[in-house]
Amino acid sequence: MRILIHGGFFSESSQSDEIKQKKQEALKDIIKRGYDFLINHNALKTVVYTTTLLEDCPLFNAGIGSQIQSDGKLRMSASIMDGSSSLFSGVINIENVKNPVLIAEKLLQEDDRVLSGSGAQTFARKKGFKPFSAETLERRNEYNQKLKTSKTGTVGCVVLDSKGELAAATSTGGKGFEIPGRVSDSATIAGNYANKHCAVSCTGVGEDIISGAIACKIVTRVTDQYTLEAAFKKTFQELDTISGFAGAIGLDSKGNMICQESHPKVVYATYDGESVSLFE
Ligand code: ASP
């Protein structure tokens, strides 16, 4: 069993040592809760559960605490991918829900598995998800001051369960101050991808992640016999040719784990049932 999470880049807005420490504490708590859940649940259920915990923490740019777009509205994107069935589902730019990843989970059972905007919201209401404002005062203040700081801060989770099944989930409030209608990588196969061999979740500048097809490329390379390390290395070398800004976490079916980023520093955590390891 393996579980690995990320909480986006530390270079996020309002970064300070205090915030950094709070994020580390939050990651430690969440990774332990995710691991405990994994003991009795499969990889897919665990990535969803763990991502809801990350979405509920206002320190991260996903769910509660998501960044606000240029028109003053908060829109979120999230996706999941079940490695054993190779099915992907997601929501793009959904408003007024608490946990976008739960809507993505519901969509996994549908024929139409990626929904955007008002269509995603209508689907969520039909499935009983109550209206919820994920806005925090801090993000509104940032917006009001037009603190266009970084373009990072998403959350993600990859899991290998006791049966050897893999899954990935990624959730974001976007890059902040974006043009309404802009599509984040987080609900695409560039930002979140898994199959029987490998699971990857990304953070960073969505446009770069999409241009580099990061998650999908890494998983495909592992499927085609690259080691996890070599697949990350080659994919990040290619990202370098476009000066891309991205970070990613990955797990393969043998339990190998990796975190890599083009720029410092993404926050990652893993837990083996005894001790939490934090990386940045
Ligand atoms: N990748 C996300 C996006 O571009 C942002 C992030 O990772 O923080 O929407």
Q: What is the pLDDT of residues 73-103, one digit of tens each?
A: 999 999 999 999 999 999 999 999 999 999 9
According to the model, what pLDDT value does residue 181 have? 95
Contacting residues for 233 by C-beta, under 8 A, at least 6 apart: none
According to the model, what pLDDT value does residue 10 have? 62
According to the model, what pLDDT value does residue 153 have? 74
According to the model, what pLDDT value does residue 59 have? 92
Contacting residues for 254 by C-beta, under 8 A, at least 6 apart: none
- Lowest-confidence region among 22-31, 144-153, 188-197, 213-222: 144-153
In the chain, the percentage of residues whose pLDDT exceeds 70 is 95
Distance, in Å, from the CA atom of 185 to the CA atom of 91, rounded to the nearest integer, reads: 11
Could you tell me if 222 and 228 are in contact, meaning their C-beta atoms sit under 8 angstroms apart? yes
Whether ligand 1 lies within 6 angstroms of the CB of 206 is answered as yes
For this structure, is 154 an active site residue? yes
Contacting residues for 238 by C-beta, under 8 A, at least 6 apart: 212, 217
- Lowest-confidence region among 28-32, 46-50, 262-266, 273-277: 262-266
Q: What is the mean pLDDT of the chain?
A: 93
Pocket test for ligand 1, best of 10, 139, 185 (most atoms within 8 A of CB): 185
Average pLDDT over residues 193-207: 97
Question: Which among 154, 170, 235, 270 is annotated as catalytic?
Answer: 154
According to the model, what pLDDT value does residue 236 have? 98
Please determine, for residue 151, whether its predicted confidence score (pLDDT) is greater than 50: no
User: Of all protein residues, whose CA lies closest to atom 7 belonging to ligand 1?
Assistant: 203
Please determine, for residue 280, whether its predicted confidence score (pLDDT) is greater than 90: no
Mutual angle of helices 214-223 and 228-240, in 10-degree steps: 140
Please determine, for residue 173, whether its predicted confidence score (pLDDT) is greater than 90: yes
Please determine, for residue 40, whether its predicted confidence score (pLDDT) is greater than 70: yes
Please determine, for residue 6, whether its predicted confidence score (pLDDT) is greater than 80: yes
Whether ligand 1 lies within 6 angstroms of the CB of 212 is answered as no
Whether ligand 1 lies within 6 angstroms of the CB of 154 is answered as yes
The C-alpha R_g of the chain, in whole angstroms, comes to 17
Pocket test for ligand 1, best of 152, 155, 209 (most atoms within 8 A of CB): 152
pLDDT band for 147, please (50, 70, 90 cuts): low
CA 274 to ligand 1 centroid distance, Å? 31
Whether ligand 1 lies within 6 angstroms of the CB of 176 is answered as no
Please determine, for residue 112, whether its predicted confidence score (pLDDT) is greater than 90: yes
Please determine, for residue 251, whether its predicted confidence score (pLDDT) is greater than 70: yes
- Lowest-confidence region among 7-21, 201-215, 247-261: 7-21
Average pLDDT over residues 61-70: 94
